[in-house]
Amino acid sequence: MTPLTADLLVTPFKNLDFRGNGQWDHYDHDFSGGSLSLDLSVPRSGNRLDHYGLDFVYSKDSTKSLGFDWNLNLLYGFSTGMTFRRDLLVDDSIYSRYWVGYKRQCWGVRVSLAREDDDTRIMLVFNLLGLGDIGTGTKVGK
């Protein structure tokens, strides 16, 4: 039998979500995994919406990580953001990504730098709103 899974979503305020899930292993009579997350959206002037997120992921004997992300919409169509995930078992960074973007009414462009383990990538992505993303990336360093 697969583990029993339970999900929970609590929205105490319009712009705040708390999510959690867990898996119960019937054979080991123990929790086999789960996650907790907190998401906050902050409306600002000019119909801009900023996003902040924090999450914790647990998997028995393999993963215990903490992640943080934010997306900040600046003036004149510019935006910036980052995503960061850290492995708490080995006290090391798993993944980090930083980006800057520009968006107009029907198109956008984003430049990002992503690091995962010893791999670093720079990406340039064009977005035709309503149609999707077109982009290219290159590996830098090791």
Look at the chain and report how many structural domains it folds into.
1
How far from the centroid of its chain's Cα atoms is residue 102's Cα? Answer: 19
Global confidence as pTM: 0.77
**Residue 127: band (very low, low, confident or very high) from pLDDT cuts 50, 70, 90:** confident
pLDDT at 133 over 90: no
Q: How confident is the model at residue 100 (pLDDT cuts 50, 70, 90)?
A: very high
Tokens encoding 141 = 């360093």
What digits encode the pLDDT tens for the residues 5-50?
999 999 999 999 999 999 999 888 888 899 999 999 999 888 889 9
Using only the alpha carbons of the chain, give its radius of gyration: 18
The β-bridge partners of 127 are: 108, 133
- Confidence (pLDDT) at 136: 55
pLDDT at residue 135 greater than cutoff 60? no
Amino acid at 95: Y
Q: Which amino acid is at 62?
A: S
Is pLDDT of 52 > 80? yes
Residue with tokens 């980052």, as numbered in its chain: 82
**What percent of the chain lies above the pLDDT cut of 90?**
58
- List alpha helices for 17-129, DSSP H: none
- The enclosing domain of 127 has a CATH number of 2.40.160
Residue 96's domain spans which residues?
A: 4-140
Question: Bridge partners of 115?
Answer: 96, 120
Residue (of 91, 84, 78, 80) closest to 115 by Cα position: 84
> Rounded distance, CA 77 to CA 142, Å?
34
